[in-house]
Structure 1
């Protein structure tokens, strides 16, 4: 489903130039969704997606149905949500993050505590998959039809195919996970525009150049539309942080907590963080366009995997199994605002318990 690009004028977003340093990149699988058109291609992709997500929890997707021009248009719109909206209007459309456990709306800079008294320099604007759920700033209103098409595309043409492939990789009925992710259901899958601003030298020093601590996402699948600033890293099994390479017009897909719970640990949420870019890209902002997918609010975060459950560690305290609504609200309210405890025998890990779930953060 191609987007219908509106002719409403908007300033072009000019991204940072490509990184010039040689970085220690992780080698991720590249999944070509155009192969879904044949039965044999689907089975091949299911095996490839299963193996990639079990080994690393991240992969690339290409031929996802949007042209480079359409993707760039979404980055233009994303940038306008920050650069073309006044601070007063941003305050008027601020998300009720702590009050309602919802990210819908703006999250201002310096809202999350990172480390050593330093707060984030990240601004976000979060839009429910149904853009009509809430009002939006005047600047964005002409572009809401495009954002709605983009949301539907991300949900039906990216999320659902990936969920089907993940399910086939477990030898489960193909719609098992798709049926838990309805577009019109009550829930909070959303489009996120996210802009990272450069830090001061003092902030860099105090946080060891970490912009966003190592964490797992709370939802099922996160879709990142690849952009050129090198900053995203994943934690390898040997404890080393590896960089994610930018591939123009590719998607970077990762597993979150909810899918780990629903798959009984067959797929594991991947630990990732955001750090200061290398010297060739210092001083540039990092603009992100995402689709954060979560199961419907009424879905209990319990394994649908039957005999394939592989969990060996305890995931819930006192056998509490929260719904997606309970977990997302608690996790949203607490993130970056709660007091963390240092994990036993792990100097680089801090923990908190949210709705009976032990949530870990990595330095």
Structure 2
């Protein structure tokens, strides 16, 4: 990745020294996916991880630590080097459009007890020319485009092949519906969480973002040092995600759960206040959120012999299955803006496209 355009270097917080209850996640070494034997081995590992937990790490993904550091430098630009006035100019219209392109500014989502979020993110479609961007980001668009392509072809596609093999489907089954140049909303997200007041922490029980599932197929999170991400483990306990230098954290979303007939889990995760030795820092994140092409119907791959043996969980009645576009528009416009129905155990619910979507508060 070129570093010709000079920008400030972003310095994150040091890793926590607190003794946290970490989730034990499998580590997928993508360098082994270059051979048929390596792919066969990794496919079993990825299948089991995605089925049992829904999260795993990826290492040896093709970026050096220096390139990783550069992308975090770029990620800070839309927050630290864009005025509030200019941010409003590029604010996304999630409620109206069902698309996250542009800024999601702070205080947009309701968390609990009248407290709204203190995070903002900037979303860039993999086609970086789809809309105009803040002035300070424009010289960096070639690097962001390169980063997007790397995520798509060097990380996403190898993972999709492993997951297809895990279902005993042809290797390119999922790759074929995740075209880089197709119509869709797969995007790079830069996200920044800001510290909150003690009163806000008390009112929300230290939850920064409610427990939820992602609505796409795959989420690629570039690991960063501030501990705040937790997953709901199969035993019902919230466990922390450990930071690994230059590693990626991969999870499945709703669309992958639908396509796999419930075999690959869209795991519930949340963001909470960091441990005491990391409080007071901002938390910068880098993501690649993945969806199929917009026109793909989210039907399970019933031709999979694995699913035929395991059983298929259908979330929609025949004929009512939404396309990826319908599902992501419904989830995007509703998130954090609808009145949720209280259920048992602190769970809140809403119905989107006929499916009950749960939020864990």
Task: Sort the TM-score into its range (normalised by shorter chain).
Answer: over 0.9
Q: Which runs of 5+ in 2 are unaligned?
A: none
1:190·1:293 contact (CA, 8 Å) conserved in 2?
yes
Equivalence for 2:51: 54
Q: 1:305 to 1:162 in 2, by over 3 A?
A: farther
Structure 2 Cα separation of the partners of residues 341 and 215 of structure 1: 15
Where 2:287 maps in the other structure, the secondary structure is strand
Alignment-derived partner of residue 353 in structure 1: 351
Change in Cα spacing, 1:317 to 1:171, as seen in structure 2 (3 Å) is: closer
Cα distance change, pair 226–49 in 1 and its aligned pair in 2 (3 A)? same
What's 1:300 paired with?
297
Whole-Å Cα distance in 2 between the matches of residues 128 and 167 of structure 1? 25
Deviation at 1:318, TM superposition (A): 8.4
Shift of the alpha carbon at 1:315? Answer: 2.0
Answer yes or no: is 1:109 the counterpart of 2:103.
no
1:305–1:249 CA distance, 2 compared to 1 (3 A): farther
1:201-280 pair list within 5 angstroms: 201-280=198-277
Q: Distance in 1 between matches of 2:66 and 2:128?
A: 22
- Aligned residues of 1:257 and 1:269 also touching (Cα < 8 A): yes
Q: Cα gap change, 1:142/1:47 in structure 2, threshold over 3 Å: closer, same or farther? A: same
From 165, 170, 175, give the equivalent of 2:167: 170
CA distance in 1, matches of 2:317, 2:91: 33
Partner of residue 321, structure 2 = 321
Pairwise CA distance, 1:312: 6.8
Mapped partners of 1:261, 1:178: distance in 2: 16
Query: Where does residue 336 of structure 2 map in the other structure?
Result: 336
Identify the residue that residue 68 of structure 2 maps to in structure 1. Answer: 71
- Matched position secondary structure for 2:333: helix
Gap runs ≥5 in structure 1 = none
Q: CA deviation at 1:239?
A: 1.1
- Structure 2 counterparts to residues 141-180 of structure 1, below 5 A: 141-180=138-177
1:347 is displaced (CA, Å) by: 2.2
1:138 matched residue in structure 2? 135
Paired with 1:358 and 1:65, the residues of 2 have a C-alpha distance of 38
RMSD across aligned C-alpha pairs, in angstroms? 1.3
Q: Deviations over 1:48-96 (max 9, x none)?
A: 1001111110000000000111111110111011000011111111111
Per the alignment, in what secondary structure is the counterpart of residue 152 of structure 1? helix
TM-score (norm 2): 0.97
The secondary structure found in structure 2 opposite 1:132 is: coil
Q: How does 1:4-23 map to 2 (within 5 A)?
A: 4-23=1-20
Change over 3 Å in CA distance of 1:92–1:195 after alignment to 2: same
CA contact (8 A) 2:211 2:269 kept: yes
Q: SS in structure 1 opposite 2:86? A: helix
Question: Could you list the per-position Cα deviations for residues 115-156 of structure 1 after superposition, in whole angstroms to 9, with x for gaps in the alignment?
Answer: 111100010000001101111110001100000000000001
Deviations 1:135-187 (A, max 9, x none): 11100011000000000000011011000000001110111111110000000
Aligned positions, number = 358
Question: 2: CA distance between counterparts of 1:301 and 1:196?
Answer: 32
C-alpha separation in 1, matches of 2:281 and 2:269: 21
Aligned-partner Cα distance in 1 for 2:135–2:355: 39
Equivalents in 1 of 2:102, 2:311: separation in Å?
A: 36
Normalising to structure 1: TM-score of the pair? Answer: 0.96
